[in-house]
Structure 1
Amino acid sequence: MLLAILTFTSFAVLIRILANPLSNVFQKQLTQRAADPLFVISATYGFLTVACLAFWPQLRLTGLPVAFWQSMLVVGALAMFGNVFLVKALQIGDLSVLGPINAYKSVVGLIFGIFLLNEVPGWWGLTGVILIVVGSYVVLSNAQQHKPFSWTVFQRPEVKLRLAALVFSAIDGTFLKKAIVLSTPTIAFFYWCLFGFGFTLVWILLTMRSQWRAQTKLLLSHKIIYLGLFVAVGVTQIASNVALAGMPVGYALALFQTSALVSVLFGYQFFKERGIVRKLIGASIMVAGAVLITVLG
């Protein structure tokens, strides 16, 4: 029985590693076609909410503890900002660069642990931070233009947006784990979709009242890409929930970082981004650092 659980959880992690970069590909393709990041995320949440109601009528909507609702409200708000910032970053940056930057999520968690939980990292954790910084040097340097790594790269809009997105996602992961423990992965997934749609819909009504019609027409004209995005995001999130339910958050987050390598490959395959070998080496170093921080730090 234990072997079956481990195998199912491992399969969920593998699916998540592949599906998450694929969703980023669809998101970047849509923003290249003038889709607004906020509308893209809201449409994704809305479609997945309807899909849940259509295919999972057995979802339990009552009898859940107050702590579950509190956690899901926080998750909904944080996930909304994190996803919108991520898609905005993909709109103006390279997937092969922004994917590996997600390894900094482990550094964020380490910093929060120091100040909020008084958890001082050991030597493995500090080594992981160094590896992530070194990996950043390799990924973000521009050999073609003879531009070495500089800390000023963190002032680039797409990098700042990606870092903001990972901060939100790093925090919401903890609350999501709590919600899953208090319910099931599928119930938490449904309310992740529902609350996310509700929050983004309010945001659209406040800021995009003159644009939503044009964005809807764009959705219909690129419905195949949107459908691919909906499926990829849905698979990514349900696989993430299953993984979080079956293993500690730290181990899951460490394994999720492996998707950075897939992001680099997809950046080359779909968008002809350059420096593929250099970025793969840098991403591998960053993944190693993230694993050290999360698992051994």
Structure 2
Amino acid sequence: MWLALALLTALFESGKDVFGKKGLMAGADAYVMAWAWRLLALPFLLPLLLLPQTLPVELGPGFWPALLTGGALNILAAILYMKAISQSDLSLSVPLITFTPLFLLLTSPLLLSETPSAGGMAGVVLIVTGAYLLNVSRLSTGWLEPIRTLLHAPGARLMLGVALIWSLTANIDKIGLQNSSPLVWAVAINAAIALGMLPLMVLRRQPPQVSRALPWKWLLLVGFCGGLTTLCQMLAISLTQVPYVIAVKRLSILFTALAGLLLLREQGLGERLAGTLVMLAGVILLALS
């Protein structure tokens, strides 16, 4: 079940990327899109609290510290993320998020005392190796060239910062849901991020005619996909270790790259097939470990 939920997380994450890019191309700035990502997820998540046996939930002592810390870090990550995809192609910037599982191999043992099994660790390494192979055609000019190509792309450094932040917040998410429930945490963290960004949006308020021109269709679709991404991810994390879920979630880079080629007419997808196969092998290894 955790694998199915993690794959759905990847699918909705990719949808958020594509719709976010479309919204940025249509005139929304990175701050507006980052806020919409979290704020407009709430209308799709809040009704789920009415489901039987959802409430009340006893909040543990770690809930509020996790919410404050996770909310603050995710505000920074959301802004950096949208700035990154506004400055470069999806198929170049989004693959850098695959470094999150690598960072998680360091942060999860420290924050959660979770130690992946040998098979699980090998699966994570395979998925990260697949990200390296996504630019394998650059290997002819040096074995570090695939990494240099990504790092020199506009927005790439911002996305690498997001990967590092998310390696921390993924562990904080687990602490939060352990002190509440997956659904309550999904709603709470999105609400905390949206509320925390409110002062930024007030300070950056735009003239009324600009607000009316915002691409609301893409903003709503980003919120819808963002809400379902958060929900599926929290449910999956509640069933298994954090690095496994985040590693499978990074399959969204495959879906996003395909969408970038088909919908946004980005180039160079063919050389990424080798990396994709390695990543799929990593997912299978994770599922069997």
SS at match of 2:162: helix
Say whether 1:162 aligns with 2:159: yes
Root mean square deviation, CA, Å? 3.5
Q: CA, structure 1 residues 135+175, in 2 after alignment: closer, same or farther (shift >3 Å)?
A: closer
Which moved further from structure 2: 119-128 or 152-161? 119-128
Q: Tell me the alpha carbon deviations over residues 39-64 of structure 1, each in whole angstroms, 9 at most, x when there is no partner.
A: 11212322233454455357658852
SS at match of 1:273: coil
Say whether 1:277 aligns with 2:261: no
Say whether 1:74 aligns with 2:69: yes
Q: Which residue of 1 aligns with 2:181?
A: 184
Which moved further from structure 2: 122-131 or 67-76? 122-131
Which moved further from structure 2: 286-295 or 79-88? 286-295
Partners of 1:284 and 1:147 lie apart in 2 by 23
Q: Tell me the alpha carbon deviations over residues 157-206 of structure 1, each in whole angstroms, 9 at most, x when there is no partner.
A: 41101101111111100010111111111100111111001111122334
Residue from 191, 211, 218 that aligns with 2:213: 218
Could you tell me which runs of 5 or more consecutive residues in structure 2 were left unpaired when the two chains were aligned: none
Q: Which residue of 2 aligns with 1:25?
A: 18
Say whether 1:94 aligns with 2:72: no
Q: Is the 8 A contact 1:250 1:294 kept in 2?
A: no
How much identity, in percent, do the aligned residues show?
Answer: 20
Which moved further from structure 2: 48-57 or 70-79? 48-57
Q: Which residue of 1 aligns with 2:100?
A: 105
Q: Which residue of 2 aligns with 1:262?
A: 255
Residue from 180, 188, 192 that aligns with 1:195: 192
SS at match of 1:160: helix
Say whether 1:229 aligns with 2:222: yes
Say whether 1:34 aligns with 2:30: no
Question: Which amino acid in 2 is paired with 1:139?
Answer: N
Could you tell me which runs of 5 or more consecutive residues in structure 1 were left unpaired when the two chains were aligned: 1-5
Q: CA, structure 1 residues 287+94, in 2 after alignment: closer, same or farther (shift >3 Å)?
A: farther
Partners of 1:217 and 1:194 lie apart in 2 by 24
Q: CA, structure 1 residues 174+168, in 2 after alignment: closer, same or farther (shift >3 Å)?
A: same
Residue from 7, 11, 25 that aligns with 2:4: 11
Q: What is the count of residue pairs matched by the alignment?
A: 283
Q: CA, structure 1 residues 47+127, in 2 after alignment: closer, same or farther (shift >3 Å)?
A: closer
> How many angstroms does 1:135 deviate by?
4.2
SS at match of 1:66: coil
Q: Is the 8 A contact 1:260 1:287 kept in 2?
A: no
Partners of 1:171 and 1:212 lie apart in 2 by 37
Which moved further from structure 2: 223-232 or 279-288? 279-288
Q: Which residue of 2 aligns with 1:241?
A: 234
